[in-house]
Amino acid sequence: MYIWDSPPFVHSLAHRLHVIMNIGAGQISKTGSSTSVSLLRRLKARDQQAWVRLTRIYGPLVYRWCRRSGVRAGEIADIAQDVFQAVATGIDGFRRERPDDSFRGWLWAITKNKVNDQFRRVARRPEAVGGTDAQLHMGQVPFEPEAAEESATSHDDTTVVLHRALELIRGEFQEQNWQAFWRTSIEQQSSTDVARDLSMTANAVRQAKYRVLRRLRRELEDLE
């Protein structure tokens, strides 16, 4: 089992999301480089690499939602393709106009609709009759706004998103700096102890941590 899947890690990382995503707020450079522009802005600019990153970050989340809704494993790939096609079509219209608006909530609504479309297709097949599994599943997909919000913002789902985003940006940092970030932010070790182990100054450890967190926030700005 990967460390990402262990319950203590899942809950501790998710619990600190608000800290991670607020570090560096308002200090992001507005240059033309791809790492200086949020993923959402790159998506709206039709940056192909941004679309690849989006599917890598949020693809596992769509898979989890489909499985929780009762979709068969063999049908998820087609649903996920429909979901991200809908995202590509509608991304220009996505806005965060209210405090509770979120990309993940919007993605959840799209996924829910595509899951229901799939269950309707299954229910219309010749072998389908009243009371089929497909019809039962349709009744289990949460339609209430409260249920949708809970699913879209659960701690486990937050951890999936952070996990994938961190995987994607890790290669941008030297291993020593990454370890400084990881051990102070995730493992909650003191800067002094980490500095001694990595032959760095405590200030250098703090700066390394800040740079990784700022990069993470930049990647997910306007989304998470």
- pLDDT tens by residue, 46-58: 888 899 899 999 9
Looking at the whole model, is its pTM more than 0.75?
no
Residue 110 makes CB contacts below 8 A (sequence gap 6+) with: 83, 86, 87, 90
In a domain, 29, yes or no: no
Instruction: State residue 124 phi and psi, 5-degree precision.
Output: -90, -5
How confident is the model over 93-145, as pLDDT tens digits? Answer: 888 777 677 889 999 999 999 999 888 887 776 655 444 554 444 444 443 33
The total number of structural domains in the chain stands at: 1
Residue range 43-89, pLDDT digits in tens: 998 888 899 899 999 999 999 999 988 888 888 999 999 999 999 99
**Residue 39 counted as domain residue:** yes
CATH number at residue 206: 1.10.1740.10
Q: Is residue 163 part of a domain?
A: yes
Q: What is the mean pLDDT of residues 175-195?
A: 96
* Structural domain of 115: 3-24+34-220
